[in-house]
Amino acid sequence: MVSSDDGLKIQSLETVDLSHNNFGANFILVVRQLRESCDFIQNLMCSGNAGIKRCQNMQIARSKRVSECSNMLIRLDLSNCLRGDEQVAQLAQSSYLKDLKWLNLRHCKFGNDGFDEVLHSKNLRSLEVLIVKDNKISNIEGPFTDLEEATEK
């Protein structure tokens, strides 16, 4: 692995697709390496990486202070990565996702509690597309007449 101390960076990389690898608990180390090697990642696809942990600490932007990060994630695919309400709730608590516009949580095995955490998260107020197909959500109250059908593309 190349050390970040040698100054080599990919300065304009916007999208990284890490789908269907086997990161598990090492996911946070992969994210750290991306942060040190690239300046501008806005789209991160991680579908099919079961066992991702501590995703609430998923800071891609280089600054340690959220207020100083101008290039936060905009698009995040964690389909088939998270497992259950607790991990989805941890994700919803991430202050590093405040600019996120598109989030795919398909096949993450969460129910009403996890869905409620996402809908009421103060950190996900910028979401425009939320994909939660194929989970265990069973009871949604509303009228939601203003919602449109979204695709995964």
In the prediction, which pLDDT does 85 show?
A: 94
Cβ atoms of residues 69 and 41 within 8 Å: no
Residue in the block written with tokens 């939320």: 130
- Residue, of 145 and 44, whose pLDDT is higher: 44
Res. 60: pLDDT tops 50: yes
In the prediction, which pLDDT does 103 show?
A: 95
Pairing of strands 102-104, 15-17: unpaired
Domain 11-62+70-131 fold: 3.80.10
In the prediction, which pLDDT does 2 show?
A: 47
Cβ atoms of residues 56 and 83 within 8 Å: no
Res. 4: pLDDT tops 50: no
Rounded to whole angstroms, the Cα distance separating 60 from 41 reads 7
Rounded to whole angstroms, the Cα distance separating 91 from 52 reads 11
Res. 119: pLDDT tops 50: yes
Rounded to whole angstroms, the Cα distance separating 126 from 141 reads 22
Q: Where are the domains of the chain?
A: 11-62+70-131
